[in-house]
Structure 1
Amino acid sequence: MSQCPFANLLNPDTYAQGMPYEALKAIRQQGPVVKIDDPITGVSYWAVVGQTELDFVSKNPGLFSSAKRTAFPMEFPQDEVDLIHCHTIINMDPPRHQKVRRIVREAFTPKRVNSYEPAFRAHAKQILDRVVDRGECEFVEEVAAELPLVAILELLGVPIEDRKQFFEWTNTMMFADDPDMAVSVEAGQIAAGECINYALKLAALHRETPMNNITSALLDAEVDGQAISEEDFAWMFILILVGGNESTRTVISHGMRLLMEHPEQLEYLVQHPDKITAAIDEILRYNTAFIQMRRTATEDIELGGQQIAAGDKIILHYHAVNHSEAVFGDDAMSFDLRRSERMPKLGQQIRSFGIGQHFCIGSHLARLELQVMFEEIIPRLRNPRLQDNIAYTRSYFVNGIKNMHIRFDTAATAD
């Protein structure tokens, strides 16, 4: 077992003050695959922190299953796995996974996503318009959360007037470990139930007045000659909602934090706005939205010099891999917006969206939202600085920021 003097990677307190960069480096120094105890659940696990090993696990679903115990890093009762979590694409193995993924993929093709750019930019301008003259804002809810939530709700066919309710539901579902974000695990389950009921109402609405969006793509599709059940649709609805909302909000928030911590790099983007697109890869690398996912070994196998037994819990720690010195060099722990100038294939080396069959289907959508938001933020919120301490989310799953109060100069006062 690991003897490192740091907290369990599956303890939410480990991340309550932000990402434990040094602790993750200590794990990487032990090897690409490290056995760690989890005294909270009593289920020990293998932390995969080497890129080669993470890629091997991700690309071999027959050896490392997402379905057996889900792809989520937490522990669930087996009956919950079999009755509930099996309905979401992230917890499927081949061949069912590819069949369902093919349905969803059509809604996220680069061509279709690129067509959203004018609408996204209009939303982004409105978001900045609401705060720019004040010289201060709570960045997470007022800026970072807005476009991802509006975008995914529009793609799902949810009216914009319901977005505040969904913001609260997704927070409650995702952050049940954080006492500031949810009352209890039960509150998260209640919020999920509310989302399911909403999804079922949306399905009924589609039957009366057909839509042309992700909702219709799911409801009108067939898998093995059968329509997707309303239960499957409801859980897919939740997964797409959370994946398309929380993740991008998190990266925008951390991106702003990093720019404030490195004002010289921010000024570089102010002077060279054409470099913002390339800078997105480094923002994605440095603070991944989803910290880690799970797989379950289906047979005895050697991985990274370790003997893995059938049934063992495997944790794919994307954040640790994204800071690997072996991949990104001796300065992997440093934030450098110009890294892509030295590493032209940086976007292919980061694992922020995973890799293999479960590579994030909405990655193109997320990149577009990030690009649009930072192209609007950087020239308008000048000289941004923290007003109070950052409040990080107590979660070992989503690398979130709860709130981040900032002050800034408007473009007019800066000029």
Structure 2
Amino acid sequence: MTTTPLTYDGLDLTDPEQMEKAVPHDAFRHLRETAPVIWVEQEPEARAGFLDTGYWAVTKHADVAAISKNSKDFSTQRNGVIVRFAPDMTRDQVELQGAMLIHHDPPSHTAMRQVISRGFTPRAIAAIEGALKERADKIVEAALAKGSGNFVEDLAAELPLQAIAELLGVPQEDRGKLFDWSNQMLAYDDPEVEGDEAVAAAEILGYAMMLADDRRKNPKDDIITKLVTVGEDGEGALTDDEFGFFVILLAVAGNETTRNAITHGMQAFFENPDQWELYKAERPATAVDEIIRWATPVTVFQRTAINDVQVGDVTVKEGDRVLMFYSSANFDEDVFEDPFSFNIKRENNPHVAFGGHGAHYCIGANLARREVDLMFNAIADKMPNLKPTGQIRRLRSGWINGVKELHADYS
């Protein structure tokens, strides 16, 4: 058993400059083979809001899955799940994120998730599926009429935004605001994205509170009313802060991640034209999860140990941050056969792109899958011959596998 921290003397695996170039798959492969749990020191500017000097990097699928399921020894509330906040964030500002569902621990997490899940039942998703299919078709038709453009904005971003608006009962004309605000909240490491993350968060919170107030006065048959009023079963309602942070979570997790999954999926098809031909011909049900595995839109989340705990061969001490690198786990050779092949007929695909199968498994996973499926079906039906016209331009981010530009000819 390792008694002193083994230190990785190379890349900070959350370095946004590295992530702007590419996911560091070679480094991840090396660590999976030689030191699957290893201590990484961080420079002070990379530790905004955190009290320690670094983190444990966890790169094997089995360890990531085990930590995801272990709420007894690991907390999301203590330091949140975000591995790199804006460089000038204080500890107090980090702790303000605690109202968000993803930053709660059981039992409060369990109770809040039970309330929020009212809006993501199979019945709720089925109720909007017809509308989402119609929207997917119209999005593709509009891009096709345009002829060419940035795939990210013309195609990948639109359905997630419209789905959020559909779910929340937000006027569709306001979806652009959600797009801009969520971009600004996540892109603090990218100087090309204009805006201030704190101002954007305040804008979303204010907008959400306005929506909540309206639904309390004028209830409707929609998710907002379900969340801000007491349910028929007596379940409590979300507070204004809780609802506001739920909207932030939905705007980020339900918009940015699905948008990037669709974009990376299209890029994978561009790079593997045989798979695009196969998809157009067969539309295998396995394609969606392979696209999501390949994309892994969130590269890493963190937990904080609340007890001394064994992870692999390492004893993690209480208070240490542990980073679960999903973008490594999803390419673990011990779990995925030929993981660096994009294979839309992959049958054994226990990816952790939705956060592993623990208490914090993505509540909107089924909605995300439906959006990806609807978009690629519509693209394959209506613009089967699209092709790239430029190189992909990635987001500079320490934890989002984001894409800013993917230009394509839609004809």
TM-score by length of 1: 0.91
Counterpart of 1:205 in structure 2 is 214
- Preserved CA contact (<8 Å) 1:287 1:399: yes
User: Paired residue for 1:250, among 260, 284, 291?
Assistant: 260
Asked whether 1:172 is paired with 2:184, we answer yes
Structure 1 position 178, deviation (Å):
0.7
Structure 1 position 32, deviation (Å):
2.7
Asked whether 1:371 is paired with 2:373, we answer yes
Asked whether 1:315 is paired with 2:317, we answer no
Matches of 1:81 and 1:16, distance apart in 2: 24
Matches of 1:272 and 1:55, distance apart in 2: 32
Structure 1 position 4, deviation (Å):
5.7
How many pairs does the alignment contain? 395
Give the secondary structure class of the aligned counterpart of 1:328.
coil
Counterpart of 1:266 in structure 2 is 276
User: Paired residue for 1:292, among 295, 300, 317?
Assistant: 300
Structure 1 position 91, deviation (Å):
0.3
Asked whether 1:219 is paired with 2:219, we answer no
Matches of 1:281 and 1:225, distance apart in 2: 33
User: Paired residue for 2:406, among 404, 408, 411?
Assistant: 404
Matches of 1:397 and 1:154, distance apart in 2: 28
Matches of 2:148 and 2:103, distance apart in 1: 41
Structure 1 position 168, deviation (Å):
0.7
Q: Which amino acid aligns with 1:306?
A: V
Give the secondary structure class of the aligned counterpart of 1:379.
helix
TM-score by length of 2: 0.92
User: Paired residue for 1:22, among 26, 38, 53?
Assistant: 26
Counterpart of 2:36 in structure 1 is 32
1:374-393 equivalences under 5 Å are 374-393=376-395
1:324-343 equivalences under 5 Å are 324-329=332-337, 331-340=338-347, 343=348
Asked whether 1:190 is paired with 2:202, we answer no
Q: Which amino acid aligns with 1:244?
A: G
Q: Which amino acid aligns with 2:286?
A: A
Q: Which amino acid aligns with 2:134?
A: A
Q: Which moved more, 1:40-49 or 1:193-202?
A: 40-49
Matches of 2:34 and 2:41, distance apart in 1: 15
Structure 1 position 335, deviation (Å):
1.4
Counterpart of 1:77 in structure 2 is 90
Structure 1 position 225, deviation (Å):
7.7
- Preserved CA contact (<8 Å) 1:144 1:252: yes
Asked whether 1:118 is paired with 2:130, we answer yes
Counterpart of 2:53 in structure 1 is 43
Q: Which amino acid aligns with 1:38?
A: Q
Task: Please give the per-residue CA displacement for 1:259-285, whole angstroms capped at 9, x wherever unaligned.
Answer: 011011101112223x1x311111111
Asked whether 1:157 is paired with 2:166, we answer no
Structure 1 position 81, deviation (Å):
3.8
Matches of 2:234 and 2:146, distance apart in 1: 55
- Preserved CA contact (<8 Å) 1:393 1:402: yes
What 5-or-longer segments of structure 2 have no aligned partner?
1-5
Distance 1:31 1:210, change over 3 A: same
Counterpart of 2:13 in structure 1 is 9
Matches of 2:119 and 2:342, distance apart in 1: 33
- Preserved CA contact (<8 Å) 2:68 2:359: yes
- Preserved CA contact (<8 Å) 1:10 1:38: no
Structure 1 position 48, deviation (Å):
1.2
Task: Please give the per-residue CA displacement for 1:121-168, whole angstroms capped at 9, x wherever unaligned.
Answer: 100111011121343221001100001001012211211111112111
Structure 1 position 400, deviation (Å):
0.9
Q: Which amino acid aligns with 1:192?
A: A
Structure 1 position 208, deviation (Å):
2.2
Matches of 1:47 and 1:360, distance apart in 2: 22
- Preserved CA contact (<8 Å) 2:14 2:83: yes
Distance 1:305 1:9, change over 3 A: same
What 5-or-longer segments of structure 1 have no aligned partner?
410-415
Give the secondary structure class of the aligned counterpart of 2:335.
helix
Give the secondary structure class of the aligned counterpart of 2:385.
strand
Distance 1:134 1:79, change over 3 A: closer
Task: Please give the per-residue CA displacement for 1:366-403, whole angstroms capped at 9, x wherever unaligned.
Answer: 01111111100113223332212211011122111011
Counterpart of 2:3 in structure 1 is none
Matches of 1:267 and 1:236, distance apart in 2: 39
- Preserved CA contact (<8 Å) 2:13 2:24: no
Matches of 2:57 and 2:367, distance apart in 1: 29
Distance 1:77 1:30, change over 3 A: farther
Structure 1 position 226, deviation (Å):
5.9
